[in-house]
Amino acid sequence: MNPTGNLIDGRALAEQIHRETAAEITALATRGVQPGLAFVRVGDDPASQVYVGMKERQCARLGVRSQTHVLPAATSEAELLALIARLNDEPAFHGILVQAPLPAHLNSARVYAAVSPAKDVDGFHPVNMGKLMLGDPSGFVPCTPAGVHELLLRSGVALAGADVVVLGRGNIVGKPLAALLLQKAPQADATVTVCHSRTRDLAAHCRRADILVAAMGVAEFVKADMVKPGAVVVDVGVNRVPDPAAKSGYRLVGDVDFAGVQPRAGLITPNPGGVGPMTIAMLLRNTVRAARLLTG
């Protein structure tokens, strides 16, 4: 047992990655390059404000230049696309992140496709998604799936031949994570099952899993009796549940009933403190890589 019991400490692993990224930033500085990341936020979604704020703070801490464009909720698609086009041509910014979710009148697919694939550090452009599907490592992998993958590797979890069950087939987490773990590659080679709202007997799939990843957005959905004893459980979900005792009136919980599942799991991510910090670490790593590739 490690000192934290069966917990995977996402914060500590993220710090490890930040240290590696900081060393790369120092190396870039010797040739006069400072990585730059431009954030675009549309509307006043409170969670998006929090997420962009956390990412900006990490940029400042590591010495990545950042700039945030906040556009009103009523921004037209043409205005947003014009800003993205300007940022695509702006040499000081090597990465562009358009924070999801966008207001409903904007077509997210068209917006993500407008970001230059070379600056698409979120990995949502169809070219980067396609490269991930094909196993071409020259693309950018979306940050949350990349963070989950890295978290498993750095925790010493064997992926080759493992039965992985991913709950959720979203474009941001479930689908790209399945593609990543399925790669014919030494650090992947898993057998992946993806479950969703139309899956028959989802609990039976979960009970077979050596590695169970919950990315649905349903508070505390995964209960102890859905988990094989000794399985690795990764909780990606972020859900607000009402909590009259909290100042904000709510608290954040994951997709896993942590108290019930922890005693049964071999390894488990806390939530918060698991996947979230890894997502930000991968964003900064992608940004530094974009800076290296664009200036090399």
Ligand X SMILES: NC(=O)c1ccc[n+]([C@@H]2O[C@H](COP(=O)([O-])OP(=O)(O)OC[C@H]3O[C@@H](n4cnc5c(N)ncnc54)[C@H](OP(=O)(O)O)[C@@H]3O)[C@@H](O)[C@H]2O)c1
Contact positions vs ligand X (CB under 6 A): 144, 168-170, 172-174, 196-198, 202, 215-218, 236-239, 275-276, 279
**Annotation marks residue 187 as catalytic:** no
Q: Tell me how far, at minimum, the Cβ of 280 lies from ligand X, in Å.
A: 8
Q: Tell me how far, at minimum, the Cβ of 292 lies from ligand X, in Å.
A: 24
**Annotation marks residue 67 as catalytic:** no
Phi, psi torsion values for 154, nearest 5 degrees: -75, -15
Residue 46: CB atoms within 10 Å: 9
Q: Tell me how far, at minimum, the Cβ of 127 lies from ligand X, in Å.
A: 20
Nearer to ligand X, 172 or 288 (CB): 172
Q: Tell me how far, at minimum, the Cβ of 255 lies from ligand X, in Å.
A: 6
**Annotation marks residue 122 as catalytic:** yes
Identify whether the C-beta of residue 212 lies closer than 8 Å to the C-beta of residue 206: yes
Catalytic residue among 9, 58, 119, 122: 122
Q: Counting beta carbons within 10 angstroms of the beta carbon of residue 64, is it exposed (0 to 12), middle (13 to 18) or buried (19 or more)?
A: buried
Give CA–CA dist 232/24, Å, rounded: 31
Helix H or strand E encompassing 36: strand 36-42
Give Cα 225 to chain centroid, integer Å. Answer: 27
Catalytic residue among 58, 99, 183, 262: 99
Identify whether the C-beta of residue 97 lies closer than 8 Å to the C-beta of residue 38: yes
Closest residue to ligand X using C-beta atoms: 170
73: left (phi over 0), alpha (psi -120 to 50) or beta: alpha
Give the catalytic positions in this structure: 55, 99, 122
